[in-house]
Structure 1
Amino acid sequence: MYLPFFFVLTLLVSLHSATAGDYCVADLKQPEGPSGYSCKTPAKVTVDDFVFHGLATVGNTSNIIKAAVTPAFSAQFPGVNGLGLSIARLDIAAGGVIPMHTHPGGSEVLVVIQGCIKAGFIDSANDVYVKTLNRGDVMVFPQGLLHFQINAGKYPAIAFVSFSSPSPGLQITDFAFFANGLPTELVTGTTFIPGDVVKKLKAVLGGKN
């Protein structure tokens, strides 16, 4: 017995709707808002939206911090949009550092893949938690708290970090103070750092006095 045409059509529409509701692949042609990107039309979604190849590439550490972050956030990896997670790769050369920073939008889990990394964070009570991590060690950094990673060995270190957000955000404290046009007197007045030191740091990081 053949099923009525309208029943088959309704079933197909229901299955399509269920599939489309499983994910929200980022439409990178649209601006990102507080809740993420708009969803790409399901008919335009491909398997490549759910695959990211960038973490196999060594980051360029020839910079002032001797470190590199390769993100696989929703802007680079559309398939994680709306899923509450993302990942990134850290490359830290000998003597390198990921400076004190925060991720306002998500907590972080770090897994050391190669080398030795000293990592830590400061909680809202100003208690400090620091640990030297070796290959296979894992450390968590709660959302919004200041934290850092330093290469504690003589050779390049690699780590993978996952986040509880597809767009966790990033604010590096040094850059926030010294890599912009915030007047020297305001930096001095709010941090108690002498003006001559502020000016030197601004010169190093490209800020304006």
Structure 2
Amino acid sequence: MAVDMLLRWTLVVAVTLAALLMSAQASDPELTTDFFVPAGVNKTTLTADYFTSTFFRNGITVVAPAKIGVKRITSDTAPVFTGLGVSSALIKYLPGGINPHHTHPRGTEILYVMEGTLTVGLVDTTNKFFSKVLEVGDVFVFPKGLVHFQINQGRKPVVAFIAFSSANPGTVSLPATLFGSGIPDNVHMAAFKVGKSVIDKLQLPFNITT
């Protein structure tokens, strides 16, 4: 009886440890210092400039023919973000501008509308679609890993500030990933149940030839 109880407790401990390890792997690495200091940098020489970014200061210029412009501040561009579990972005959408279907595999996104009216949408893991038209001052949350999009269906530009729950949340653009990565045509044809001519048209904007 005692052996059975010991085995049960061992199993409980093993499962708990596995869950904790999986949780840790899905999040940004935990810091054991006040903040990250790059290798070779003397911490005593750092100033407030290390914690400051002026990247958003002049806003965003959208370069034609694009209808959307994005500026991101992540651990790649600002080392101080490393290990803090946060990053940010500024996006400008001209009329008709769209941030197409995409996911952020490592972080939840919080979007705040600063100017204009923005239509957003997301799909959860039960394939339920959620959509909302946001106005200035509105905040919308896109949970980590879920497919979502934003589109400006109005007549004026939209500016939104984005915050992420990861120092480097990553972005997986579905159109580019599916039709611009070189996945074989026969896989697409079987998955989407369409002919090769349709796949060719979908791949055309990404310069994929097969």
TM-score (norm 2): 0.78
In structure 1, the partner of 2:36 is 24
Question: Aligned equivalents of 1:39 and 1:156: distance in 2?
Answer: 44
Shift of 1:183: 1.9
In structure 2, the partner of 1:114 is 115
Shift of 1:62: 2.3
CA contact (8 A) 1:104 1:170 kept: yes
Shift of 1:76: 1.3
How many percent identity over aligned positions?
Answer: 33
1:15-164 matches, cutoff 5 A: 21-25=33-37, 27=38, 41-43=42-44, 45-56=46-57, 57-64=59-66, 66-164=67-165
Shift of 1:168: 0.2
CA contact (8 A) 2:60 2:70 kept: no
Shift of 1:52: 1.2
Shift of 1:45: 3.6
Output one character per residue of 1:85-136: Cα deviation in whole Å (capped at 9) or x when no partner: 1110111111110000000000000000011100010000011110000111
Question: Aligned equivalents of 1:199 and 1:41: distance in 2?
Answer: 54
Between Structure 1 and Structure 2, how many residues are aligned? 178
Alpha-carbon spacing, 1:40–1:117, altered in 2? closer, same or farther (3 Å): farther
CA contact (8 A) 2:120 2:132 kept: yes
Shift of 1:180: 2.2
CA contact (8 A) 1:179 1:208 kept: no
Question: Aligned equivalents of 2:138 and 2:187: distance in 1?
Answer: 41
Shift of 1:151: 0.4
CA contact (8 A) 1:178 1:201 kept: yes
Question: Aligned equivalents of 1:122 and 1:182: distance in 2?
Answer: 23
Question: Aligned equivalents of 2:180 and 2:47: distance in 1?
Answer: 40
TM-score (norm 1): 0.78
Aligned residue identity for 1:75: D
CA contact (8 A) 1:51 1:79 kept: no
Classify the secondary structure of the residue corresponding to 1:131: strand
Aligned residue identity for 2:62: N
CA contact (8 A) 1:92 1:150 kept: yes
RMSD after superposition: 1.9
Alpha-carbon spacing, 1:21–1:183, altered in 2? closer, same or farther (3 Å): same
Question: Aligned equivalents of 1:61 and 1:148: distance in 2?
Answer: 21
Alpha-carbon spacing, 1:184–1:54, altered in 2? closer, same or farther (3 Å): same
Alpha-carbon spacing, 1:180–1:120, altered in 2? closer, same or farther (3 Å): same
Q: Please, which runs of 5 or more residues in structure 2 have no aligned partner?
A: 1-31
Aligned residue identity for 2:51: F
CA contact (8 A) 1:182 1:208 kept: no
Output one character per residue of 1:18-47: Cα deviation in whole Å (capped at 9) or x when no partner: xx920014x3xxxxxxxxxx7955245443
Question: Aligned equivalents of 2:35 and 2:126: distance in 1?
Answer: 38
1:167 aligns with 2:168: yes
